[in-house]
Amino acid sequence: MSDWTRVCTREELPPGQHRALDVDGAQLLVANVDGEFHAIEDVCTHDGGDLAGGVQCGYEIECPRHGARFDLRTGRALCAPAYEPVAVFPIRIDADGVVWVRDDRWD
Ligand code: FES
């Protein structure tokens, strides 16, 4: 089973913001959506764009390359030109308010 990777504290990522991080070579994006933390793969399924460079609006993030939008909660593609979802990853927040993520695709 893969290990958990520390992302930040709750306070370091306020609602409406997101950040990218490398987890064992995988590019992930962790977002705060109205106080709930979510993690998706930071690779657009249209043509590999860097989603973390895009604009977050509520639970949606827009790819800066061609405008596809994804649901940060589910990874679902919400509009063309992307049709396939991005991977989602488990998040946990410990008693100290530290946010952790894990790439569980290969468990
Ligand atoms: S690479 Fe993301 S919309 Fe084209």
Overall average pLDDT of the 74-84 stretch? 98
Q: Is the pLDDT of residue 6 over 80?
A: yes
φ, ψ for residue 39 (rounded to 5)? -130, 135
The reply to whether 107 falls in a domain is no
42 C-alpha vs ligand 1 centroid, how far in Å? 11
Closest atom, ligand 1, to C-alpha of 82: 3
Mean pLDDT of 93-107: 95
Domain membership flag for residue 80: yes
Nearest ligand 1 atom to alpha carbon 64: 2
How many angstroms is it from 100 CA to the middle of ligand 1?
Answer: 27
CATH number for the domain spanning 71: value is 2.102.10.10
Tell me how many domains the chain contains.
1
Ligand 1, pocket residues at CB < 6 Å:
44, 46-49, 63, 65-68, 81-82
106 falls within a domain: no
Ligand 1 atom, smallest distance to 44 CA: 2
State which residues form the domain around 47: 5-101
**Across the strands, what pairs with 59?**
none
Residue 106: predicted pLDDT:
85
Percent pLDDT > 90 in the chain is 96
Asked if pLDDT for residue 55 goes beyond 80, the answer is: yes
pTM of this structure:
0.96
Distance 44 CA to ligand 1 centre (A): 6
The torsion region of residue 35 among left (phi > 0), alpha (psi -120 to 50) and beta comes to left
In a domain, 27, yes or no: yes
Confirm whether 16 is domain-assigned: yes
20, part of any domain:
yes
For the cut 90, the answer to whether the pLDDT of residue 10 exceeds it is yes
